[in-house]
Structure 1
Amino acid sequence: MKLHRTGAIAGIALASLLAISACGSDNTDDTASSSGSSSSANPNCAEGQIAASGSSAQGTAMNAWTTAYAKECGAQINYSPTGSGAGVKDFTAGKVAFAGSDSSLKDDEQPAADARCKTGKAINIPGIATAVAIVFNVNGVDKLALDPATISKIFQGQITTWNDPAIAKTNSGAKLPATAISVVFRSKDSGTTDNFTKFLDAQTPETWKLGTGKGWKGKTGTGAPDSAGVVSALTGKDGSIAYVDAPDAKKNNLKSAGIDTGNGAVEISDDTVGKAIAAATQDFQGNNLKLKLNYGLKDAGAYPAVLVTYEITCEKGLSADQVKLTKGFLSYILSDAGQTAAADAGYSKLPSEVLTKAQAAAAAIA
C-alpha cells in the first residue's frame, strides 16, 4: 500500500517531535522515561539504584535481568549472590530492598521480616523455577543414573566408592571405577541445600537421617561457601559429587546424573522440571505466594529435585527511594521478556497460573 506524500511528511515530522519530547522528559516522574526513547516502551522502567542479595541459584538469571534492565531503563540493581540465608538476613536488617531466596520465608522468619517493613507485611513472590542438579566428576564416566536412596547414602558417607553395587545397579553396563567418592556441600546457609535435603527426606525417609534446612548437617565431605566454590571443588578433584542449581551446571559444562524414582532415569529439561512444578500445591494468601513442592513425586517423566526462587520484599513499607524501582524491576523479571531471558540462561519459566499471581503481587508493591 502506498502512502500519500504529504501524509508521509507529516508522519515524519510527528515522529521527530515525539522523539524530541522523549529526550527532554528525563526529569519527569514518568517511570518509563529514565533512559530515553528505548525505555519509554517499557512500562516497568524506573530510575535510581537499589541493593539486593541472596540466592546464588538465581545468580545467573539476575545477571541477565539486571543487565537487560539497566540497558533498557538506565537504573542500577546491585545484586549480591551471597546465598539465600544471607539474603534473608540482609533484608530483615534493612540492608537491601529485596532478598532472593530458594525457599519462602519460614514461619519463624516472618515476624522479623514483617518488622522490617514497618507499615506492611513481607511477601514472597515466585521469580523463576529450576532444578537441583546432582553433578559429578568421575574420570571415564560421562552418564550416570542414581536412585534417591543411593544419593542419600552417598551424601551421608555410607557409599564411599564409585563401583559400589548400589550405583552399578542403576548403571547397567557402565564401567565404574573404584575411585573414592568425594562429597562437596554448601557450607553456608543455602536455599539449594534446603531444597536438596527436602527432596532426600521426602524420597527416602527411612534412609536420610540429616533432616532438612538451609544449613548442611552432614559430616562427610568438603564444604564450599557458595555455588562458585562448589563448582571449583568439584572440578578440581576426580571422584567428586555435589549439588548445584541447573543453570550453574549448564554454564560450567558439568555432568548431571539422572534421577530414577522407579520409572527409569529422568534428566533435567523444561518438560521434566515443569511436570514437577505443576504438581506443587499453591499456598497463596493475598500477595504472599508460596508453593509447596512435592519433593516425594515419583511420576514418570518428572524430575523431583526442583526449586522455585522467591523475591522477598515489602508489600508496603519500603523507603520512598526503593519502592518504585523494586516494583518496576520485579515486574520486569515476571514479564514475558524477563522470564524468557532467564529461560535462555537455563532456567524454567513459571507456570502461567503462578506467573499471573506473581505479576499481580509485584504490581501491588506500594
Structure 2
Amino acid sequence: MRFQRRAAAVGLIAAGALLFSACGSDGGGEGQGGQAAPGGVACGGKESLRASGSSAQANAITRFVTNFEGACEGQTLNYTPSGSGAGRNEFIGGQTDFAGSDSALSDAEVATAQARCASPAWNLPLVFGPIAVAYNVPGLQALNLDGATIAAIFNGTITTWNDPRIAALNQGAALPANPIVVNFRSDESGTTQNFQRYLNAASNNAYGKEAEQTFQGGVGAGARGSQGVADATKNTPNSITYVEASFAQRGGLGIANVINSGGGQPVALSPETVGNAINGVRVSGQGNDLKLDLNSLYTASAPNAYPIALATYEIVCSNYADDQTAQGVKAFLSASLTDQAQQGLPEAGYVPLPAQFKQRLTDAVNAIQ
C-alpha cells in the first residue's frame, strides 16, 4: 500500500497534474508510545492509516507522509489520489480513516458522514494552492487584471487584448489588437471549479456560468490537465489560461497581477500574498468544523492579498469509535502543521499556512477524539 501511494503521487507529478514536513528535522519520534516527538507531535495510535481523495493535494500529502514517517517510527499514511468525490464516498463508507477533498461535505453528505463517525464529521482545510492567470503575449512584460475583466475574458465578452477595459488597467502598456486565445482544462478539474467560483464571486456574477468541474465559459480551446493548458499557452502567442502557479512558473509564462475586490493596487502572486487572503477567509462551519466561506477568499479586499486559490480539506471524524485511529489521525495532521512541513510546500506550488489560520487548525486537530 505504501508503494501504491507513492507510485500514484509520482505518476501525477510526471503527468504534471499537481500544484505550485512533518517533524522529520525535529528529530525522531517515540513510535507507538503516544509520547510527543520533538516538535510537539504526539506519535502513536494506528500504525498504517488509510486515506483517499483529492489529487490536487497529493504532492503535499506525499511530503507530509515522508516527514510523518521520519518523526513517528513505524507509522505511515497510505494515500490514494482517487479524486475528491471518491474520497468522500470511501470515507463515508468506512473504507478510509479520513478523506481529502476539494470541496467540503455537502448538506446531503453531512448526515451520512455523521452516521459513519457516530459523531459530527469536520472539514479541516489543510492545503492551499494558488491559481495563476497565466498568459503569453509577446512583448508584454506585465499584465494587471481585476475580477470583472478576467470573467469577461473567460466568458468571451472581451475578445481582443487592446479592449478598453484591459487598457484601463494597464496604462502605457503596448497591448496588441490581436484576438485573445483562451485555453481551458478539457478534463474535469477541481481547479476549473474553483476558478469559476472565483469568476462569479469577483465579478458579482457577471461571469454568468455555473461553477462546474468542467469549463463553462463557452470560448477557447481545451487541453487536458494542468500541463496541457500550460503547454498550449506557451506554444500559442496571445493566449491566456488558468493553471496552478507552479506550472505557469515552470513554463516561463507571464502571471497576471490581480486587483482584488478592495480595488487597490495590483497584487502579484506569491506565498505571502496568498497567505494574506487566507488569513481573511471566513469560516461558515460551526465550532471545529472549519468549512470555509470561499466567497470571502475570492472577494478578499485587504491590501496585498491575492484572491485566487484552491483549498483542499481533510474530512475527519470528530470522535472516532477507535481510539487508536483517532490518535494516529491526530499525529499525522499535527505533523503536517509543523513549521518544517509547511516550509517545504512552496517549491511544489502550495502555500504555507499563515500563523493565525494554522493556529485555528491546530486547535481543531487537538480536539479530535
Relative to the length of structure 2, the TM-score reads 0.76
Q: Kindly indicate whether the alpha-carbon contact (under 8 Å) linking 1:60 and 1:247 is maintained by their aligned counterparts in 2.
A: no
Give the match for residue 204 of structure 1: 203
The whole-number CA distance in structure 2 between the counterparts of 1:54 and 1:253 is 30
Please tell me whether residue 102 in structure 1 is matched to residue 86 in structure 2. Answer: no
Contact 2:279 2:356 (C-alpha < 8 Å) held by counterparts: no
Distance 1:172 1:271, change over 3 A: same
SS at match of 2:305: coil
- Cα distance in 2, alignment partners of residues 207 and 123 from structure 1: 33
Asked if 1:282 corresponds to 2:283, the answer is yes
Change (3 A) 1:339 1:104: same
CA contact (8 A) 1:45 1:328 kept: yes
- Deviation readout 1:153-208 (Å, 9 max, x if unpaired): 12112233434443333233334442541321363251x33432232222212521
Show the 5 A alignment for 1:185-334. 185=185, 187-190=187-190, 192-205=191-204, 207-223=206-222, 226-250=225-249, 253-261=252-260, 262-293=263-294, 294=296, 295-317=298-320, 322-334=325-337
Match of 1:43 in 2: 41
Tell me how far 1:210 sits from its aligned partner: 0.4
- SS of residue matched to 2:108: coil
Shift of 1:217: 3.1
Q: 1:333 Cα deviation (Å)? A: 0.9
Aligned residue number for residue 18 of structure 1 = none
Unaligned runs of 5+ in 2: 1-27
Distance 2:87 2:255 in 1: 27
Note closer, same or farther for the CA distance 1:114–1:344 as it changes in structure 2 (3 Å cut).
Answer: same
Distance 1:223 1:352, change over 3 A: same
Gap runs ≥5 in structure 1: 1-21, 34-38
Corresponding residue number in structure 1 for 2:112:
112
Task: State the match for 2:168 in structure 1.
Answer: 169
Cα deviations by residue, 1:37-66 (Å, 9 ceiling, x for unpaired): xx6776343463333333344333223212
Amino acid at match of 1:78: N
Q: CA deviation at 1:285?
A: 2.2
Deviation of residue 346 (structure 1)?
Answer: 4.6
What is the DSSP-based 3-state SS (H/G/I as helix, E as strand, rest coil) of the residue aligned with 1:288? coil
Instruction: Supply the distance in 2 between the matched residues of 1:82 and 1:339 (Cα, whole angstroms).
Output: 24
Larger Rg: 1 or 2?
1
SS of match in other structure, 1:349:
coil
Q: What SS does structure 2 have at the residue aligned with 1:242?
A: strand
The structural deviation recorded for 1:328 is: 1.4
**1:334–1:108 CA distance, 2 compared to 1 (3 A):** same
Match of 1:151 in 2: 150
Tell me how far apart the structure 1 counterparts of residues 230 and 324 of structure 2 sit (CA, whole Å). 37
Question: 1:16-45, CA deviations, whole angstroms, 9 ceiling, x for partnerless residues?
Answer: xxxxxx99x97xx41469xxxxx6776343
How far, CA to CA, are the matches of 2:120 and 2:314 in structure 1? 14
Shift in Å, 1:247 = 4.6
Deviations 1:260-282 (A, max 9, x none): 24323211234422332232223
Task: Verify the 8 A CA contact 1:32 1:42 in the aligned structure 2.
Answer: no
The answer on whether the counterparts of 2:319 and 2:368 sit within 8 Å (CA) in structure 1 is yes
Could you say if the C-alpha distance between residues 54 and 172 of structure 1 is closer, same or farther in structure 2, counting changes exceeding 3 Å? farther
Counterparts in 2 of 1:106 and 1:229: CA distance versus 1, 3 Å: farther
State the distance in 2 between where 1:230 and 1:54 align: 23
- Shift in Å at residue 82 of structure 1? 4.5
TM-score (norm 1): 0.76
Aligned to 2:184: 184
Partner of 2:24: none
**Residues 183 and 232, structure 2, Cα contact 8 Å, conserved in 1:** no
Contact 2:41–2:334 at 8 Å: present in 1 too? no
Partners of 1:358 and 1:99 lie apart in 2 by: 16
Do residues 160 (structure 1) and 159 (structure 2) align?
A: yes
- Distance in 2, Cα, partners of 1:207 & 1:131: 22
Number of aligned residue pairs: 335
Q: 1:169/1:55 Cα in 2 relative to 1: closer, same or farther (>3 Å)? A: farther
Inter-CA distance 348–324: structure 2 relative to 1 (3 Å threshold):
same
Equivalent-residue separation in structure 2 for 1:319 and 1:109 (angstroms): 22
CA distance in structure 2 between the aligned counterparts of 1:67 and 1:324, rounded to whole angstroms: 18
Percent of paired sites with the same residue:
38
Change (3 A) 1:75 1:246: farther
Q: Distance in 2 between matches of 1:341 and 1:237?
A: 33
Distance 1:282 1:296 in 2: 14
C-alpha RMSD of matched pairs (Å): 3.4
Distance 1:306 1:98 in 2: 23
Kindly state the Cα deviation for residue 350 of structure 1 after the two structures are TM-superposed: 3.0
**Distance in 2, Cα, partners of 1:235 & 1:75:** 43
